[in-house]
Amino acid sequence: MQSLIWAASLYLKTMTRKTSHRNFKKVVAIVGDGFTEKIYFDQLKELEQLDDVVIKPELPGKAHKGGSYKRIIESAKSLIEKGYDHVYCLIDFDTVISEKKITAFKNDIACLDPDCFTVYINNPCFETWILLHFEKTARMFGSCEDVSIKILPHIKGYNKRQDYLKRKNIYKALRPHLDNAIQNAASLELNRSDHSDKKPRAEIFKIFKILNLSPPKPIQIDK
């Protein structure tokens, strides 16, 4: 699975801090590890016309295989050092599970300063978030490929190629179903501690509260 480290920088007008008589915008970032997420957030910014959001790739030139939650954390730490106030880390959990690193992951996350870092898990991967736009499911998927297969009846020809995701405008295609996805993802968090770590998850829904995009605004869909 090809991936990259990227950061979506958000300059939030509603989150300010005061020093003397000057107001400063609180600058936060969303950091992820996949091309799909990067393209999705690029398209989100364009469609929603978010003038206060800047999507900025972080070292996107080299592709990696999975298992990069530590790279995401290191990238997040570097952004804090550069002056960002808070970093939201999106972690695909499939490799964490397959490599039996759940305990190590939890220990690493516990060491992060909650005032600076928030970690959101997608399990097994970002495609779970896409599927939740169409289905409410708590099925435990064996792999990201299994989730992609479930997406196909809803998005014909869906695949993770960059050219496809850009041509399809995956965010715009999903946008009419965003409220449904948020509700379905939120339902997976109920009594979370009572369930296996393998239960599907899409904490990315919490990002939309930060962006003030819930409930969704009506948009014109091309026919």
| 69-104 pLDDT per residue, tens | 998 999 899 989 988 888 889 999 998 998 899 999
Confidence band, pLDDT 50/70/90 cuts, at residue 195: confident
Q: In 3D, which of 2, 180, 28, 203 has the Cα closest to residue 95?
A: 2
In contact, 5 and 76? CB cutoff 8 Å: no
Q: Distance between CA 160 and CA 162 in Å, rounded?
A: 6
ω into residue 216 within 30 of 0, thus cis? no
pTM for this model (two decimals): 0.82
Q: What is the pLDDT of residue 61?
A: 36
| DSSP reduced 3-state for 154 | coil
| DSSP reduced 3-state for 169 | coil
| DSSP reduced 3-state for 123 | strand
Beta bridge partners of 30: 8, 88
| 110-145 pLDDT per residue, tens | 999 999 999 999 999 999 999 999 999 999 998 999
| DSSP reduced 3-state for 43 | helix
Q: Distance between CA 202 and CA 182 in Å, rounded?
A: 9
Q: Distance between CA 140 and CA 198 in Å, rounded?
A: 6
Which residue is associated with the tokens 């759940």?
A: 102
Listed by start position, the domains of the chain span 6-210
